[in-house]
């Protein structure tokens, strides 16, 4: 356990950062799941609208370093391809 005041403070900060990151990651997963449901339902026009919001969320979280930028690009690419595949 942390002995010095500085180490105790860093431990507190780490807990706060972790909670924030978990919350942001959860928001990202929820946005992706919502878009995937629309894609599975075949709602292309609605999926395109939701995709723009989801892509914005993905970029925001990648910009904060919560997920890697390559992972963000991969997710957006796969979601976009899934939307284009809807007939």
Q: 3-state DSSP call for residue 86?
A: coil
Q: What is the pLDDT of residues 24-76, one digit of tens each?
A: 999 999 999 999 999 999 999 999 999 999 999 999 999 999 999 999 999 99
Q: What's the confidence (pLDDT) of residue 1?
A: 77
Q: What is the pLDDT of residues 10-36, one digit of tens each?
A: 999 999 999 999 999 999 999 999 999
Output the six-digit token pair for 37.
């449901």
Which CATH number applies to 5-84? 1.20.58.110
In angstroms, how far is the first alpha carbon of the chain from the final one?
58
Could you tell me the residue ranges of all domains in the chain? 5-84
Q: 3-state DSSP call for residue 56?
A: helix
Q: What's the confidence (pLDDT) of residue 61?
A: 97
Question: What pLDDT band is residue 87 in, cutting at 50, 70 and 90?
Answer: confident
Output the six-digit token pair for 54.
């989801």
Question: What pLDDT band is residue 2 in, cutting at 50, 70 and 90?
Answer: confident
DSSP assignments along 12-50, one per residue? HHHHHHHHHHHHHHHHHHHHHHHHHHHHHHT-HHHHHHH
Give the span between the Cα atoms of 72 and 54, in whole angstroms: 11
């Amino acid at each position: 356990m942390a002995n010095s005041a500085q180490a105790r403070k860093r431990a507190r900060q780490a807990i706060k950062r972790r909670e924030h990151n978990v919350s942001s990651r959860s928001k990202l997963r929820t946005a992706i799941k919502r878009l995937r449901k629309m894609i599975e339902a075949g709602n292309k026009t609605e999926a395109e609208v939701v995709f723009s919001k989801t892509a914005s969320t993905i970029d925001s979280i990648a910009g904060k370093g919560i997920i890697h930028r390559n992972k963000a690009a991969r997710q957006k690419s796969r979601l976009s391809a899934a939307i284009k595949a809807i007939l």
